[in-house]
Amino acid sequence: MIENARRWRILAGGFAAGMAGVLSVTGATAAADPLYPMPPQPGPVVAQGVPAVQPGATALMPGAAAAAQSQRQLALAPAAPPLHPAQAGPALQPLQVGPAGQPGQTAQVTGQPAQSVPGAGMLPVAAAAPEPVPATSQTLVDFLKEKGVKLEPQVARDFKALNIVLPMPPGWSHVPDPNVPDAFAVIADRAGVDPLYTSNAALVVYKLVGGDFDPKEAITHGFIDSQQLTAWRTTNASLADFGGMPSARIEGTYRENNMTLNTWRRHTIATAGPDKYLVTLAVTTSASEAVAAADDTDAITNGFRINPVGAPAAAPRAAPVAAPAPPR
C-alpha cells in the first residue's frame, strides 16, 4: 500500500514536472516571437489650394502619394501674410462703372476718358493753337482804316519790297483793266470761249503805313468783302497761313450783270523789313467757262507766291523747274 502510494507520488511528480517543462518551452517560444508595432495612423495633410478629400471621393491613383508628399513639403514654407485691405492698391479695387449690372448684362463705362500721362523722359505735347474765327462784319480794308492805317497803292514798275510770282498760262496776257482800282497787275485769257466775260486774274498791292494793328486779327476780316457781293455763295474758305504769313482764302460764286461768276480770292499780309503790305489776288471766270478754264485758273492759284526780297522765290507749279542732269 505504501509502495503504491510512493509510485503514485512519483507518477504525479513526473507528470507535474512534465507539465512544467511543457509550459516552460511554450512560454519561451512565445517570448521569442517578434512583437510588431501597430502601424501609425496617418495624420491629415494640410496643403494650400488642395481641397480635402470628402468621404466617398475617388481614391488617389498610383503616384498620388508622391504628389501628396510634394504638397506636404510646399506647405512647410511660411505663407505670405494676406494683404491688408488698407494696403491694397487702386488696381485691386473694383472699378465703379455706374449702376450695378444685373447677371447676364454688360456694364457700361460712364467715367471720363483717361488722361494721357507722359512717361519718364517724355515731354508733354504742347496744346495746339486755337483756330482763328472769321469776323462777321467790317471788311479788311475798313478794319485797317479804323486802326489808323493808310493804304498806299503800289505799282509793279520798280517794286522791290517783295518777290511776287504770278504764273501766266498759255493764251493769257497782261491787259489794262480800268475795272480794277489800284491794279498792280491784271492778266486775262483773250482766247476764252465766253463772249460776254473774259477770265482774268487781278493783283493789288497796298503798303500799310502807320496805325497799330495785329495782322492775325486783321486777316479774320478777309472774307467779308467777298461775302458782300450780290447772291454770294461760299464753296471753300480757309484762314491758314500762306508761306508763313497771315492769309485769308475764299472761293464761291456771285451775280454780276445778269451773269453768274466763279471767283477765288486771297488776302495776305506780308512783311518786308519794318514794312507791311496787303497783297490781294482775285481769279474770276464765268460759271459757264469755269470747267474749261479750270486748268488755267488752277495753275495761277497753285503757282502764286509771295516772298520777301532776298528769300528764294518758289517755282510756280505751272512751270516746274527741270531736274539737273546727273554728273558724268
Reported as a pLDDT band with limits 50, 70 and 90, residue 195 is confident
pLDDT tens digits, one per residue of 83-138:
444 444 444 333 333 333 344 443 333 344 445 555 555 666 666 667 889 999 99
Any bridge partners for residue 269, and if so which?
Answer: 278
Contacting residues for 288 by C-beta, under 8 A, at least 6 apart: 194
- What amino acid is encoded at 222 in this protein? G
pLDDT tens digits, one per residue of 139-178:
999 999 999 999 999 999 989 999 999 999 999 999 988 8
d(CA 141, CA 155): 18
d(CA 170, CA 268): 26
**pLDDT over 90 for what percent of the chain?**
49
- What amino acid is encoded at 148 in this protein? G
- CB-based burial label for 286 (10 Å; 0-12, 13-18, 19+): buried
Dig out the grid coordinates for 218 from the structure.
486783321
Least confident of 31-35, 179-183, 211-215, 310-314: 31-35
d(CA 185, CA 226): 20
Q: What's the sign of the alpha-carbon dihedral 247, 180, 284, 189?
A: negative
Please tell me the class of the 140-308 domain.
alpha beta
Any bridge partners for residue 248, and if so which?
Answer: 267
**256 C-beta neighbours (distance < 10 Å), count:** 14
